[in-house]
A and B are shown apart, each in its own frame.
Chain A
Amino acid sequence: GENVEQHPSTLSVQEGDSAVIKCTYSDSASNYFPWYKQELGKGPQLIIDIRSNVGEKKDQRIAVTLNKTAKHFSLHITETQPEDSAVYFCAARTKDKIIFGKGTRLHILP
């Protein structure tokens, strides 16, 4: 069936360094790619999204890139801070369904 693969499952970076999380999707009908951040005890929070007619989108320290040909999209966080520690989920959405990646637990090391 259709799926979204997310890597890595766990990522540790030094505070101030950059973090990159990658996702691959299988359904070529996917046209919307949101990223969510989930902190302990809370629901996922939408942090950035990209639609299939755009290759890159940036919002302050966060950016997302999309390669439709390769069916890859990535989340880039620069100048990481302690409050970036959380679980991050990617998702790929078609007209009928949305599929999430398994999540990446990001640890920011002091």
Chain B
Amino acid sequence: KAGVTQTPRYLIKTRGQQVTLSCSPISGHRSVSWYQQTPGQGLQFLFEYFSETQRNKGNFPGRFSGRQFSNSRSEMNVSTLELGDSALYLCASSMGPAGEQYFGPGTRLTVT
């Protein structure tokens, strides 16, 4: 069974731009969560989607948004990029909201 895939793997953007990251969960998994990982703050929860609905949201500004499609694939969007948004963005999928989570390899975003 294929694992969680994330595209693109690497991205360089300029301050003020916006970016969209994509995540394809493991086949059969309906829950997708997004995390931001930085050396200073560690792994921080962004949001969780299940059956196209956002179930939970972490403590991030409204510039961070996401959505989930009917095939369980998910995208997250960051608008008006700031230097501090440079991070590894990780997606994790699970069968359901309380299930074991399996992470993708992440998208490394660099904002210059």
Contact = CB atoms under 8 A, between A and B. Distances in A.
A10 B58 CA distance: 27
Interface of A: 32, 34, 36, 41-46, 49, 89, 91, 93, 95-103
Nearest to B91: A43
22 contacts: A34-B100, A36-B103, A41-B105, A43-B92, A43-B103, A43-B104, A43-B105, A43-B106, A44-B43, A44-B90, A44-B103, A46-B100, A49-B100, A95-B98, A96-B56, A97-B56, A97-B58, A98-B45, A99-B45, A100-B42, A102-B42, A103-B42
Interface of B: 4, 33, 42-45, 56, 58, 90, 92, 98, 100-106
Contacts of B4: 43
Main secondary structure of the interface of A (DSSP, over half): strand
Contacts of A44: 43, 90, 103
B47 to A, nearest CB: 10
Contacts, number: 41
A47 B4 CA distance: 16
Given A42-B105, A46-B102, A101 B42 contact: yes
Main secondary structure of the interface of B (DSSP, over half): strand
B2 to A, nearest CB: 14
A97 to B, nearest CB: 6
Contacts of A34: 100-101
Instruction: List 4 tightest A-B contacts by C-beta distance, closest first.
Output: A43-B103, A100-B43, A102-B42, A44-B103
A44 B45 CA distance: 14
B101 A46 contact: yes
B32 to A, nearest CB: 13
A99 B56 CA distance: 13
A89 B105 contact: no
Nearest to B59: A1
A44 B35 CA distance: 11
Contacts of B103: 36, 43-46
Nearest to A49: B100
A60 B56 CA distance: 34
Nearest to A98: B45
